[in-house]
Chains A and B, each alone.
Chain A
């Protein structure tokens, strides 16, 4: 059974870069998409983007060029970097396997990231 766990700082200063890592256990990170989603308090989830195990990235255009993602197959991890953050980026960030059909069954527990000085 695939399990995912987010890690990273819970507090980021405005204008800095938010960096999160997702560790995948119970299965290999190869040959699959891996996704980041965020959810501000009381709001609907927002798909941020996904990275294929080869490193190909598809991101939400709403984030413009602020988001990058990567995969570390040696550690069975994938990562999110969101630069130039503002208070509007405060949210619970989730990693997931993918949101395509049954792959939507695999989510991490989420990590609250607050953007504040």
Chain B
């Protein structure tokens, strides 16, 4: 299985801050990477697909980049509604696998 290593596991930031999360794959996955946002009691919501493509309706403050084994997810200016847990997920190989998540909190 491809292991997805996300960091940090938790993050405290102030409103308006730029927030960055990284995800590293255990082998080359090209750009076969999704980023999700999950709020308590809800299903994960797709934000970014293909490593850098913004899903329809997702605010432009969310951005993804990277290819191969190293990926970055950025929120340019943290808003109150962005408080959630974020996951990366590879779909290059089966089984599809997720990172362990980054819990984002307000400082």
Contacts and interface: CB of A to CB of B under 8 A. Distances in A.
B105 to A, nearest CB: 15
B72 interface: no
Interface in B61-91: 87, 89, 91
B100 A44 contact: yes
Interface string B39-52: 00011111001100
B101 A99 contact: no
B44 A107 contact: yes
Nearest to A35: B96
A61 interface: yes
Given A102-B49, A102-B55, A104-B34, A62 B95 contact: yes
Interface residues of A, number: 21
Contacts of A100: 91, 96
Interface string A43-66: 011110100000000101110000
B57 to A, nearest CB: 9
A29 B36 CA distance: 24
Contacts of B95: 47, 49, 60-62
Q: Tell me if B's interface is mostly helix, strand, loop or mixed.
A: loop
B89 to A, nearest CB: 6
Interface string B91-102: 100111111110
Contacts of A101: 32, 34, 49-50, 91
A45 B87 contact: yes
A7 B79 CA distance: 34
Interface in A58-100: 58, 60-62, 94, 96, 99-100
A72 B81 CA distance: 38
B99 to A, nearest CB: 7
Nearest to B100: A44
Which of B42, B44, B50, B91 has the most C-beta atoms of chain A within 10 angstroms of its own C-beta? B44
Nearest to B49: A101
